A and B are shown apart, each in its own frame.
Chain A
Amino acid sequence: MSAAEVTAMPEGRGGRMTRAQIVNAALALGLIGFGLGAWAMDETFLVTLATKVAILAIAGAGLNLVLGFGGLVSFGHAAYFGLGGYASGILAHHALNYTAMFEWPFVFEGTTSMPVIWLTAMAVGALAALVIGALSLRTTGVYFIMITLAFGQMIFYFAISWPAYGGEDGLPIYVRNGFPGLNTLDPVQFFGLVCVVLFAMLGLISMLARSRFGLALQAARQNRQRLMAVGIRPGGVLLVAFVISGAITALAGALYADLNRFVSPSMLSWHLSGELLVFLILGGTGRLFAPLAGAGLYIALEHLLGGVSDHWQFFFGLLLLGVVLFARGGVIGFLAGGKRHG
């Protein structure tokens, strides 16, 4: 959400919706409608595809918090995505093999319960983001892009060569983890669960963006000096945002591992970091619903172009180039109009 949207919000709430809000509502309804429609027509695979879009949108939303609002271009968010995935995979692995993860200083058992896994994944993601963020935020600009990439690569190579949890072969989760009261093996129930998480996260980010913290975060992007003049340390604000962002992306990773029933180092690769950035720019950087629009468009294109030509990446590259060069607001900018400030 841009600064413009934030200021426009109160008017919109009183009477008519703003154009951006209409687009956002359409996107949300579109996702749910697509998923339910596919389910009604018994197209199970399309439900799976919609679930994938929703999960990638959660990951993108995590990145959007630091990139769209805080202006930090992290080229290493695959690290948190992958760590979340591994948290899920490793916990399930131990639960299914009836072995404890570690017994000292206290016994830590594996689990197949999604709420526990989610909390663990978010804690792991937040912790990693705290360490990486504290070190990386000493740099700015290109150096920040590159140091986040370096940390991502470090974790990637570690995961490939560490044999305990499958190394490059990855770790299969034979049965999808469970959620109290739901049958997660049923694609449409899992889809519903993921949608709830997605909209909860988007709601959280929207709330954060409008809070004092969010305003400080956007100020940190636009003018660090001014922020310091009013007595706020931009570094602290950015670090908090980075940690929250890591936690949200890790949550998405845990869901993604459950969707695929599999986790592997490819979730940690720099290509995935790049794809998360692509979602945001396709959707429109800084817009609340950009990750959903971008991930939806990306997956749809991959699916449709992939069916047309083996060389679909060539055409996808051309399209992406076109969007970056000529359609800077992305999908939402195109539909909703209005320029992003800063």
Chain B
Amino acid sequence: MTGIKTGIHRETRMTRFLTTTALALSMMGTAAMAEPVKVGMITTLSGGGASLGIDTRDGFMLAVEKAGNPDLEVHIEDDQRKPEVAVQLSDEMIQSEDVDVLTGIVWSNLAMAVVPGAVRQGKFYLSTNAAPSQLAGKGCHENYFSVSYQNDNLHEAAGQYATDEGFGRMFIMAPNYPAGQDSLSGFKRFYEGEVANEVYTQLGQTDYAAEIAQIRDSGADALFFFLPGGMGISFMKQWAEAGIDMPVVGPAFSFSQDILPAIGEAAVGVKNTAQWSKDIDNEANAAFVAAFEEKYDRLPSLYAAQGYDTARLLLSAMEKADVSDADAFREALRAAEFDSVRGDFAFGPNQHPVQDIYVREVISEEGQLTNKIVATAMEDRGDAYAEECSM
């Protein structure tokens, strides 16, 4: 019986959502253009890390289907998390399918392989996740928009949170690759206490016994770590087994909805920073979470939310301008007039978001692990590279 009840409940919310969208569509309908927009989505759908790409795609497509705009055409391809495959796919999409907009890449190294070339060929790129510092500073481009964040943001927010909490000595740890090095420097940018020790692990490392012993020995007040994907799952399980009583802070990547079930109870109580959470209280978010659960029968992750917002941004620009008029379309994107699931959303001068970043806590809710917002770490945060961007 409860199942049916929830179903009805969802349906009413769904209906409200649909009506809102339809209303919005009909209001803007007069200005709508007939020129179709072709989108090429390159994302990771096979191999390790596929869960991130799948959530990105599902979030994006949810918004596309809800909007029901016949002028939007999406081609989806799997990059296998290999930069050379991503380059080949972008070549194919640009040269033979003649797409207008590219999107979907999860990883910074793949983005670095694809984005500079694509935007120079006059295509728009809307980032659903990866936003490396090179593309935010000197390498910024008028056709490149990051809808997610700038890579450093969540780490900076964790640093700010550690400062606010009064953690005097922090142990900080990340894998030894560019995103890991950026992570620790992002954290230190806003952390005012003392760094007890700074450790780089190997990319893809699965056993953390040695690091955990070092952490225990360091006598730090708290631990900050950035270990995305399988690395984070391994670390958190081993951390829980070690039985160390020390607060843990990290960016959302190790605690997002796609991997929380795999970590299990070990994650409960951990603070993590994100620009989105499923309990952000606004109409767009409620509609998104309900529709996502309804359609895919699982809770949406951060990546799904980013995919969803990216599609909604694109749809909002399509309502206002014709993609063949690149300047007008760019202006329409820059205006970002859509109801973000994050609430307030605007682009900064380098076309990266200016947004609030929250601190979430992992909780167990109705037998499921999920995140709940407990504080706001930073308000209207842009990024550290915007002034280097001459646009």
Contact = CB atoms under 8 A, between A and B. Distances in A.
A264 interface: yes
A322 interface: no
Given A161-B177, A313-B46, A170 B116 contact: no
Nearest to A267: B84
Interface residues of A, number: 30
Given A161-B176, A161-B177, A169-B132, A45 B96 contact: yes
A170 B109 contact: yes
13 contacts: A45-B95, A160-B176, A160-B203, A161-B203, A168-B177, A168-B178, A169-B178, A170-B83, A170-B109, A172-B116, A174-B120, A264-B109, A266-B84
Contact of A310 (B45, B116, B181): B45
Contacts of A310: 45-46, 78
Interface string B98-133: 000000000011001100110010000000000010
A262 B83 contact: yes
A167 interface: yes
B12 interface: no
Interface string B77-89: 1100011100110
B92 interface: yes
A46 B96 contact: yes
B112 A170 contact: yes
B78 A163 contact: no
Contacts of A170: 83, 109, 112-113
B109 to A, nearest CB: 5
B91 interface: yes
A169 B116 contact: no
Interface string A306-342: 1000110100000000000000000000000000000
Interface string B241-275: 00000000000000000000000000000000000
B92 A167 contact: no
Contacts of A174: 116-117, 120
B113 A306 contact: no
Interface string B189-204: 0000000000010110
B251 to A, nearest CB: 18
Interface of B: 45-46, 77-78, 82-84, 87-88, 91-92, 95-96, 108-109, 112-113, 116-117, 120, 132, 134, 176-179, 181, 200, 202-203
Given A45-B91, A264-B84, A264-B113, 5 more contacts: A48-B88, A49-B88, A260-B83, A260-B88, A266-B109
A52 B88 CA distance: 9
Given A160-B203, A166-B178, A313-B46, A266 B83 contact: yes
B164 to A, nearest CB: 31
Contacts of B78: 306, 310
Nearest to A48: B91
B92 A260 contact: no
Name B's interface SS. Answer: helix
Contacts of A256: 84
A330 B88 CA distance: 27
A96 to B, nearest CB: 12
Nearest to A311: B46
B128 to A, nearest CB: 18
A23 to B, nearest CB: 28
A56 B181 CA distance: 33
A277 B179 CA distance: 32
A310 B80 CA distance: 10
Contacts of A46: 96
B132 A260 contact: no
Contacts of A99: none
Contacts of B95: 44-45, 48, 187
A260 B84 contact: yes
A266 B82 contact: yes
A210 interface: no
B61 to A, nearest CB: 14
B117 A166 contact: no
Contact of A264 (B83, B134, B181, B200): B83
B123 to A, nearest CB: 14
A256 to B, nearest CB: 8
Interface in A187-222: 187
A45 B202 CA distance: 37
Contacts of B46: 310-311, 313
- In order of increasing CB-CB distance, the 6 nearest A-B pairs are A45-B96, A44-B95, A168-B177, A45-B95, A262-B113, A260-B87
A43 B95 CA distance: 8
A278 B176 CA distance: 31
Contacts of B202: 157
A224 interface: no
Nearest to B78: A310
